[in-house]
Structure 1
Amino acid sequence: MTRERASIDKERKRTMVDKSTPTLKIERANVVEGEIVRFTSKGPPVADYTDKILIYDYHDHQLRNLIKEENFLKDDKNNYIKNSKDEFVAELDTSGLAAGNYRATYQLDAERDARESGDDNSVKFHVSSASVGSSDVTLHRTASYPTEDQALWTTIRNSTTAICFDRYRRFVDLVFHGHQVSLDPTRFSFNIYGPSSYPLLKWATQAFLTLQCGLRQLTKPTVAYNEFLDKERLLNLKEEARRMGRPLVGINELKGQLEQYIGNNGILPYLDRIISAMLAVGPDDKTNVEDESQVLFYHDVLKHRATQPSLIELIWSYWHEEGMMAQTMNAIALRFQNQRSGPNDPLAELEIDPLRPLNNMIWGFVQDKYNQLSVSRRAAEYDHQYGLRLVGRAVPELQSADSRSKFIEAFHNLLYRTSIFYREDADTTVIADAFPLLNALKDVHLLLAEGAHNQYGDLPWTARSEMLSQQWMLARPEMREFLRGRHMVPYQEDWMGAVDAMKKLQGWTDTTISHFHELAVDGERVLLSIRFGNWSDLNLSEDNARNWARYWKPEIQRYLYGYQAVTGVDLMNEVTDTREAEVRYLQPSALLQRRLLSQSRQPAALAATPRRQAIQAPAASGYAALPRPQQSSRVSRMRAIKYEQGE
């Protein structure tokens, strides 16, 4: 009886397999060796059977290349991803396959021969050899092979988005409302009032940066933070697929690429090269080391610093400082201490009541002034890392020991080469050359590496922490009551209206803070991809540079436009004169000062323009009297207090 029941169950299972056998399709039947072949199927793999897609060559010999259940694309919740036709997608890497015809067959049950399946379960495709030295000109954009560093760029975008102001503001609000945020196991209600409110804000800011920024943001998300703020992942898979030029991309695929790129030791190739040269030993080679403590130092200290790099770039703080954000907070702190900035102080009516927490925050901000970074220290580090200088009364004349004087030229040359590549890449009748991009990326990478010493490890972190705290205070409702800005302007973040309103009151630059903010965010992402990329590797090809340009095209295009809106210099124009080259490589602070002077001259020029005189009434003799020549009157100049950059 038991044997008969087992036979019936086996036959029933076979019948179910035959009825539920999915239809197999292929997206592209002709591919080049090394490309990805995508198969689609109406039915997903069944866990009860050994499901796979078998690959046969033109001799009908089965190959070792199998597409198993794990080859089907999944999302971050381990669910199968479907395309627009409600079909499941599987991938096959054709690297190593010889040129010729192949056949793929879907098999659900290993006990049944796959070659006995129907035609609906088999598809044919052709693999062409990747020709060397010749390319066909078609009406399609030049194809590019996937590179291992693409997952690093995804991690950079994910990490920089995780430390944006909106998420930081929600984090701080949760801390002040007494919620538990993964650091303290007890539910302690923090008080936003009192003289200790600003030190608590500093602690919350540092905790936020510690939890959110870093290389592990993609592979090891902070569950405790997402538990209170949002359940969804920051990563947009559709956006990543569009940037990489793929129809679909899964979170498991991105994780696998990142783990393959950083290796088993979890260290970026660029940092691994530095540490290996420092110790003259590889991660797994201890034979050439005489002192055993040197190996322990490598595995304990340097490995921790190398596996957890802070993805923070100081150029974010530089552009916000040029946008007068720090100067806005300093002017408010000066008025808070009952000090005038001039005879006609525009902040004379600023009164912050003690009933709301902003009063205590500004008190703590003023008291903690000696523990904060001074503008001279930030200016010196801007010069050390990027060769960028601040201009203003509060900035003393720098006596820099080391300055990246070639960075502006190299970085702007890279942006110019990238704009040329975009124009050529958009033309489907030509093949865009990416080798000039690769050489320009190497130059910028080496310059950034030269400036990564001394204060590089701590000053960008501290500057980011202080400026985030200032943004939080500028976004408070108490601040918007006085510096409300223009209500109809669609600011990206709540603190921007206060900065633009302050610039209007003080007569500073009339360029909106939105352009400076875009330069800060986009410039940080682009420079992080150059700094931590292994661009000094001689084995890199133009595919790496081509993929880099295509992936970061939105950020680079926004940076080019923002730089033109702020300084008036178009980095995409071709340089035909030496004077144009001098303007392109001029300091941004000098260009901003030049625009500020031209802005201040416009009201004086309008006031000095003589008015057209009216013809007088005719005299008694009947003749029209000519107007008398009017004496030139001097235009009274109003004394104004200058708030220059860096003050």
Structure 2
Amino acid sequence: MSTKIAPANPPAHPPINPSVNPPPRDSRPGSLQVSVHERASGAVVVNAAIALYRCAMVDCANFDPLRWDGRSDVLVDTRFTDARGYAVFAELAPGAYVAAYENFPVTPPQCAQVHAGCGALLCFELALEPGVTLSFETPDCKPSTCRTARVADRVRAKVSFFGDQDANTRANVQVLAAAPWLIERDDDYGFSYVVRRPGVHRFEAQMLLARRPDTALAGLIPLDAVGSVGGALRAMIALAADFDADERTPQLIGGNVGVSLSRTETEPTEDLPLWTLIRNSTEAMGFNNYLHFIDGLFCGDIGGVRGFEGERFVKKAEQFGSLNKRRALPFTDSEAYRVLKAATEAFVMVNCGVLSQPLAFNPAEDEAYLDRRDIPPGRDLETVLLNDYLENVDGSATLPYLAIIRRKLPDIPITIPRGQEPQADLCFGILQDKLANPCLLELIWSYWHEEGMLVQTMNAITQRFQNVRAPGLSDALANTEIDMLRPLNNLIWGYTQDEQHRLTVVRRNYEYDHHYGVRLDGKAVQNFRPADTRSRFLEAFHHLLRLCTSFYRQDDDTTVKADAFPVLNALKEVHLILSQGAHNQFGDLPSTARIEMLMQQWLLARPEFREFLPTRLMVAYPEPWMDRVDAMKKLQNWTDTSVVHFRSLGMFGEQVLLSVRYGAWSDIYEPTPAFNWARFWRPQIQGYIHAYRAATGVDLSIDAVDTVAESTIPSVLLRQRLSEQARSA
């Protein structure tokens, strides 16, 4: 059905035509009534801004609307039209007045003569010609030839108006439909709705018209610039169209009829965009993407960069250019290492800010991921993030969790970076950049990579590079001969020289304990005396993982509605423990450790290492540095658990804990967000549980779990497995 339908207004306010429905007479002397309606249909325009000027001329006889600019006149007042489409200016002195309509479309002003004791009327007619076209589709997405819909059909409503194909017009006209109509993708004026019941249905929408600035004859403000300010800046025209829906005729089916059950339905929540950003940003900070960035920056190869990372490549290159001028090393012949260090810092700083532009959304991939998790995507994720999830704090959009922290410190001002060194802000107050765009990193990534022997592998190579023999009868790295003709030689020279400027294993170990209550085990970290430890984190986190496993069993059973309340309570507990450790070195040590370990991975991935580290070529490692670490473990008789599992623990653990730490879980009491959280992070949670069993031997997925082993720190479990490995050998 394709019919041009005149816009309809709410039942309480029928369309106004001054000749048919005269406005109520205002008996006050010297009044002016201004009406605004659409020319073709007579539909009233609500909330339209009318500016009234006292005209410098004696009367309106010589008034020319095309030449009027308002500069010689005095602004009397600005009023907005009511539900009947009228704006009333009362108690005006006798004289000539000019009324200017300040919304889209641009309409010439009008002049009116006000006499003492009398009222005047002006009428603005907008040439928009809005209409609604309805079309129907069958459940199998085929166009329907019927003029009425049937239950389960999809109805599409297309709003059209004069000039709707013009870019300027589209920028200043927005159409919002009432629930349950959803906007169609890639179309600002198309909406769809699936019919669920027979009877009369109604499409209702509002056409929003942008407003000009207060200065006369200035350009229009596009809707995307004022959309979040409020309705006071937008005029509205109501649209409506009705259609009938019939019951679908039942069809007899012969043969065998199969019946299947589907999983429990859920609804989208406002924190879905944050989890999507965390997942996309942490994956973008992975080694392979880092390798593409370094190759593209120094070798001109950007073939592996795509999506939002392609847009961020320029931003990271600019950040590198800025850091490269400020970073220096007091060593000779270490330029290659210094440049690598500055580039790595730029890579981490740009990618860790999940709220930095461009936002890390991949619409097609994100929607497919949610669909695989049986989570309805709802509206556009970026729109939900900017309009619904983020909170406005002192003029900056920030995460709800950080907004709660800001409300605890109302007496402390927000400091805005100034000067030529914006990062060197010494003024007292809360840093705006930290509040509006926090760097989302978890130190657990560094902890598991260190337990996987990444740092120890690099330390063994640098010791042998300096001609220091490792303890023991045999020299496992006897063939380490790195010639000076290739870049690796000078890179390791700079890396070795810079040892005094890197984090020590002792500092990292104390911070692991401060964040998560876990620590390393070995001679280098003896006499461990922490001042503040998260002794309950490991128990609470593993309890959360075990509850998630039980939730997944219920959720996979299509005859049971899974209970998410235990998951919600466990999330609150883990969130509380994590927030207690977010102090002191929390702001800088995780990013510094990430930068250093990424450089270690990049150095180990160099092709030169193939010559003295025997690796298994037929093993498909996800990242090229991993076979070097596993080869070093074999040479040094370290743990025989592959570094692949430790890398999975670090990667999955970081994603899960970031979603717990930066979610406002303390203020949530409904189970739906926890329900969606468990479904959204299912691959990461089950991947972490599997990798933890492979590394430590403790299975967190079984119900009858050993509570002692569950709360034992991983380094003790790893030492026990290493002892068992030595005894079996």
Q: Quote the residue 2:265 is aligned against.
A: 143
> 1:240 touches 1:249 (CA, 8 Å); kept in 2?
no
2: CA distance between counterparts of 1:80 and 1:363?
58
Matched, 1:501 2:631: yes
How many angstroms does 1:49 deviate by?
Answer: 7.2
Q: Quote the residue 2:170 is aligned against.
A: none
2: CA distance between counterparts of 1:103 and 1:49?
28
Closer/same/farther in 2, CA of residues 544 and 69 from structure 1, 3 Å limit: closer
1: CA distance between counterparts of 2:617 and 2:374?
39
Matched, 1:586 2:715: no
For each residue in 1:517-570, what CA deviation from the matched residue of structure 2 results, as whole angstroms up to 9, or x when unmatched? 111100000000000000111x43111111110110010010011101111111
Q: Quote the residue 1:135 is aligned against.
A: none
1: CA distance between counterparts of 2:278 and 2:195?
26
How many angstroms does 1:276 deviate by?
Answer: 0.9
How many angstroms does 1:47 deviate by?
Answer: 7.5
Alignment partner of 1:103 out of 201, 205, 209: 201
Q: Quote the residue 2:432 is aligned against.
A: 303
Map 1:211-290; keep pairs closer than 5 Å.
Answer: 211-217=350-356, 220-221=358-359, 233=362, 236-242=365-371, 245-246=374-375, 252-264=380-392, 265-279=396-410
1: CA distance between counterparts of 2:377 and 2:663?
25
Q: Quote the residue 1:322 is aligned against.
A: 451
Map 1:71-110; keep pairs closer than 5 Å.
Answer: 71-74=183-186, 90=192, 103-104=201-202
Q: Quote the residue 1:162 is aligned against.
A: 284
Alignment partner of 2:342 out of 196, 203, 209: 203
> 2:195 touches 2:245 (CA, 8 Å); kept in 1?
no
Alignment partner of 2:670 out of 541, 548, 569: 541
For each residue in 1:198-243, what CA deviation from the matched residue of structure 2 results, as whole angstroms up to 9, or x when unmatched? 11111000011122211215x5349xxxxxxxxx959723433325
How many angstroms does 1:23 deviate by?
Answer: 2.9
Closer/same/farther in 2, CA of residues 470 and 50 from structure 1, 3 Å limit: same
Q: Which runs of 5+ in 1 are unaligned?
A: 1-9, 11-16, 29-36, 52-63, 82-87, 127-137, 223-231, 284-295, 604-647
Q: Quote the residue 2:660 is aligned against.
A: 530
2: CA distance between counterparts of 1:533 and 1:344?
52
2: CA distance between counterparts of 1:433 and 1:185?
52
Amino acid at match of 1:197: A
> 1:154 touches 1:240 (CA, 8 Å); kept in 2?
no
How many angstroms does 1:41 deviate by?
Answer: 6.3
> 2:564 touches 2:674 (CA, 8 Å); kept in 1?
yes
Q: Quote the residue 1:225 is aligned against.
A: none
Amino acid at match of 1:440: A
1: CA distance between counterparts of 2:195 and 2:592?
45
Amino acid at match of 1:201: L
> 1:195 touches 1:364 (CA, 8 Å); kept in 2?
yes
Q: Quote the residue 2:222 is aligned against.
A: none
> 1:384 touches 1:402 (CA, 8 Å); kept in 2?
yes
1: CA distance between counterparts of 2:365 and 2:678?
19
Amino acid at match of 1:256: V
> 1:102 touches 1:124 (CA, 8 Å); kept in 2?
no
Q: Quote the residue 2:695 is aligned against.
A: 566
Secondary structure of the corresponding residue to residue 278 of structure 1: coil
Q: Quote the residue 1:552 is aligned against.
A: 681
Matched, 1:355 2:485: yes
Amino acid at match of 1:331: A
User: Of the two, which has the highest radius of gyration?
Assistant: 2
Amino acid at match of 1:352: I
2: CA distance between counterparts of 1:114 and 1:261?
30
2: CA distance between counterparts of 1:512 and 1:441?
30
Whichever structure has more helix as a proportion of its residues is 1
How many angstroms does 1:440 deviate by?
Answer: 0.6
1: CA distance between counterparts of 2:321 and 2:291?
22
Closer/same/farther in 2, CA of residues 106 and 356 from structure 1, 3 Å limit: same
> 2:272 touches 2:381 (CA, 8 Å); kept in 1?
no
In the alignment of these two chains, the number of paired residues is 507
Q: Quote the residue 2:257 is aligned against.
A: none
Identical residues among aligned pairs (%): 44
Amino acid at match of 1:553: R
How many angstroms does 1:104 deviate by?
Answer: 4.7
For each residue in 1:396-450, what CA deviation from the matched residue of structure 2 results, as whole angstroms up to 9, or x when unmatched? 2210000000001000001111111111111122222111111111110010000
Alignment partner of 2:578 out of 427, 436, 448: 448
Matched, 1:597 2:723: yes
Alignment RMSD, CA only? 4.1
How many angstroms does 1:263 deviate by?
Answer: 2.4
Q: Quote the residue 1:462 is aligned against.
A: 592
> 1:24 touches 1:106 (CA, 8 Å); kept in 2?
no
How many angstroms does 1:48 deviate by?
Answer: 5.7
1: CA distance between counterparts of 2:651 and 2:475?
33
1: CA distance between counterparts of 2:709 and 2:288?
36
> 2:267 touches 2:376 (CA, 8 Å); kept in 1?
no
How many angstroms does 1:71 deviate by?
Answer: 1.5
> 1:197 touches 1:360 (CA, 8 Å); kept in 2?
yes
> 1:103 touches 1:124 (CA, 8 Å); kept in 2?
no
> 1:67 touches 1:92 (CA, 8 Å); kept in 2?
no
2: CA distance between counterparts of 1:318 and 1:416?
22
Amino acid at match of 2:409: M
How many angstroms does 1:177 deviate by?
Answer: 3.0
2: CA distance between counterparts of 1:201 and 1:93?
59
For each residue in 1:222-273, what CA deviation from the matched residue of structure 2 results, as whole angstroms up to 9, or x when unmatched? 9xxxxxxxxx9597234333256356667x4433335411123311111111
Whichever structure has more strand as a proportion of its residues is 2
1: CA distance between counterparts of 2:710 and 2:180?
55
Q: Quote the residue 1:471 is aligned against.
A: 601
| TM-score normalised by structure 2 residue count | 0.62
> 1:73 touches 1:249 (CA, 8 Å); kept in 2?
no
Map 1:357-506; keep pairs closer than 5 Å.
Answer: 357-506=487-636
How many angstroms does 1:484 deviate by?
Answer: 4.8
How many angstroms does 1:196 deviate by?
Answer: 1.2
Secondary structure of the corresponding residue to residue 201 of structure 2: strand
Closer/same/farther in 2, CA of residues 499 and 115 from structure 1, 3 Å limit: closer
Secondary structure of the corresponding residue to residue 505 of structure 1: helix
Closer/same/farther in 2, CA of residues 93 and 583 from structure 1, 3 Å limit: farther
2: CA distance between counterparts of 1:315 and 1:409?
15
2: CA distance between counterparts of 1:423 and 1:258?
35
Amino acid at match of 1:220: P
> 2:182 touches 2:191 (CA, 8 Å); kept in 1?
no
